Chain A
Amino acid sequence: MKVSGILATKTGGVITAHPDQQIREAATMMAKHNIGSIVVVNQAGELVGILSERDIVRKAVTHDHVFDMPISDVMTQNVVTALPQDDLMSVAHTMTERRFRHMPILNADRELMGMISIGDVLKAQRDKYRGEIDTLETQLMADDA
């Protein structure tokens, strides 16, 4: 299965913020949308970083005023991204190996197409196995019919 298979049923759009917004605003957005990370884009809409709950916690240990800081001081800049046509299994492997929970998806023109989380990947894997079981089950039930 490809990454695009996950994006097909996620059209709600990606929650984004600008690098000069405060962490307070970012945290408010995370709480409101119940998400663990935010994609950071510049005025042109280009990806410049990703801000995760973990980035905020890590910063808070040394900076009491983390909520007043701009996102750009806290976010991760070197973002690993995936393409819609990347294999989901390889992406899952990279996410677990490198301990990311989210990965932005960019197309070949580096436009932001969506975001996938490790939860999405696990769900896709579960659905794949469920699907195989359900096919067999449907066949067995058909034999009894």
Chain B
Amino acid sequence: MSEVGTVENPLRVAIIGAGPSGFYATEHLFKQKGLTIEVDLYDRLPTPFGLVRNGVAPDHQKIKSVTAVFDRTAKKPGFRFFGNVELGKDITVEEMRQYYHALIYTTGAQTDRPMNIPGADLEGHHPATEFVAWYNGHPDFRDYQFDLSQERVAVVGIGNVAMDVARILCRTPEELKQTDIADYALDALSKSNVKEVYVLGRRGPAQAAFTTPEIKEFGEMEDADVFTIPEEVELDPLSEASLSESADRGTQRKVEIIQSYASNQPTGKSRKLIVRFLVSPTELFGDENGRVKAMKIVHNELYKTDAGSLRPKATDKTEVLDVGLVFRSIGYRGVPLPGVPFNDSWGVILNEDGRVINPDTKQPVPGEYTAGWIKRGPSGVIGTNKPDAVASVDLLLTDLRDGNLIAPTTPDAAAIAALIAARQPHYFTYADWQKLDELELANGAAQGRPRLKFTSVAAMIAALGK
């Protein structure tokens, strides 16, 4: 047979996970001159774009526009999308290895880290991921229930996801109507009783993980006032020193904004957003029905580790917050894929710079790669996945030159399509998705909204008359 990567014998790559990393990997493959490459991009959902559709906050529509670039990649000859096909359920790694020269796993990070405190199993305490997936209309989460009859809510964690959750809880129905939030979530949030939302950070303002635009946005909410507490936003000597040493203008600006909120006065808006620093939850208290009714928090102080990082240490000062709903957002973790080595310490696929590693031999598994959140953990913005995916694909191309890819028995595009169709008759092509996309846009326009999402797989299939 002729060399792999020629017209007669194209390089066939399966990419599993159609989020940003999957698309960036595809794009980089198609940029290779002198190689004929075919990419099959899989996703367990009928819809592409991963967290851009199901994670990024609906009131950040502008960010979601990056999908236009992914659409362009999908137009390239040699590209196919297989939506509604789950690796591990509809098809296995072993099977894939019979049809492709290389596999790239880009399945993202799909669960929250647990919060191990007494009362964590009470009703009314949820991972923020579930709430995010719910309001974004992720089919697996549409039937989840969140008790929005509560007046006071705590969001544990202070990264951008925690900020998104707090903001969405404080948006007015009018603000939410301008977004593509799931219709049932719009309905539930419009009836919400929530009056106060606490965002709780373990460390001080100088260590907050959210970005400056995110904290500024808190100050610009239509019907919510934002507050911080003077004692908590005053920098301690360690933070002061580390901030002036680093001369980090960005963080200085962020701290100034946080501090300015400490002198805010109520302006009569109906909701309050209170950002707290140097506090950690230590216990959740329940009522007689096993529902969260309060949270005990301990005040922290910072100490410097050997390596110079500032970490929180509990003091003996505690406080009880009366909250009836708790979301935790203290980090995402990947979930293992059946048949793919996993690194449990960091919640990622076991890999060396993107080459999947066999745990026994510590050597690369020929032809298997990973990129994005499932490779490096949940860090960075959408674009961070681009250099990350490019680096993994470059290793794949090196291995192609060195003859170290998979030697599939059936490197045949039609054969794998037939197998998929047999396993999952309701698989979605990119053309299917584009029809669905048009319907969603049209249904949204009819209500003066940017998009009205289909939120169940059955509804998506029905809409296309499949």
Residues of A in contact with B (beta carbons under 8 Å apart): 1-5, 7-13, 80-87, 89-91, 93-94, 97, 103, 113, 127-128, 130-139, 141-143, 145
Contact = CB atoms under 8 A, between A and B. Distances in A.
A76 B353 CA distance: 29
Nearest to B23: A138
A38 B134 CA distance: 48
A131 B380 contact: yes
Interface of B: 62-63, 65-69, 71-72, 207, 242, 245-246, 248, 305-311, 343, 345-346, 348, 350-354, 357, 362, 375-377, 379-388
Contact of B354 (A9, A85, A97, A133): A9
B305 A82 contact: yes
B64 to A, nearest CB: 9
Given A134-B384, A145-B71, A91 B307 contact: yes
Interface pairs A-B: 6 shortest CB-CB: A131-B384, A134-B383, A135-B383, A82-B307, A94-B308, A86-B309
Given A8-B346, A12-B352, A139-B62, A86 B67 contact: no
B383 A137 contact: yes
A11 B341 CA distance: 11
Contact of B307 (A13, A86, A132): A86
A91 B304 CA distance: 11
B253 to A, nearest CB: 16
Nearest to A143: B65
Nearest to A128: B380
A4 B377 contact: yes
Given A84-B345, A135-B384, A145-B68, 14 more contacts: A12-B362, A13-B362, A83-B311, A91-B308, A130-B384, A131-B381, A131-B384, A131-B387, A133-B383, A134-B383, A135-B66, A139-B63, A141-B72, A143-B68
A7 B69 contact: no
A101 B375 CA distance: 25
A141 to B, nearest CB: 5
B345 A113 contact: yes
Contacts of A141: 68-69, 72
A132 B350 CA distance: 26
B341 to A, nearest CB: 9
Contacts of B362: 11-13
B255 to A, nearest CB: 15
Nearest to B384: A131
A138 B346 contact: no
Given A11-B350, A82-B305, A145-B69, A127 B384 contact: yes
B114 to A, nearest CB: 16
Contact of A134 (B305, B306, B387): B387
